[in-house]
Amino acid sequence: MTLLDSTRKRIDELCKVNNMNISQLTIASGFNPSTIRSIFKVIRKAPSSDTIHYLCIGFGISLKDFYDCKLFDDLDDND
């Protein structure tokens, strides 16, 4: 699994845990909806650390909490 795949899955997972949809996440994170949607487009690269930071603010978690999950344990080398 790639970093982008893991990141997408983690965002989806956290939305479900927090009973949020993408629109609610954009408001909580202070992003334009297109920023969040662009993460889920096939051609998009993995989001920047700043973007992940603001997503974490929206979820009310730390960066450590975001990345502390099995999804990030076994990433492909050619990301």
Query: Which pLDDT tens digit goes with each residue over 44-71?
Result: 677 889 999 999 999 999 999 999 999 9
Which CATH number is 3-72 given? Answer: 1.10.260.40
The model's pTM is: 0.85
Q: Where are the domains of the chain?
A: 3-72
As given in the structure block, the two tokens for residue 77 are 């080398």
The b-or-e profile of 40-78 (16+ CB within 10 A means b, else e) is: eeeeeebbeeebbebbbebbeeeeeebeeeebeeeeeee
pLDDT digits (tens, 9 = 90+) for 6-59: 999 999 999 999 999 988 999 999 988 888 888 887 666 778 899 999 999 999
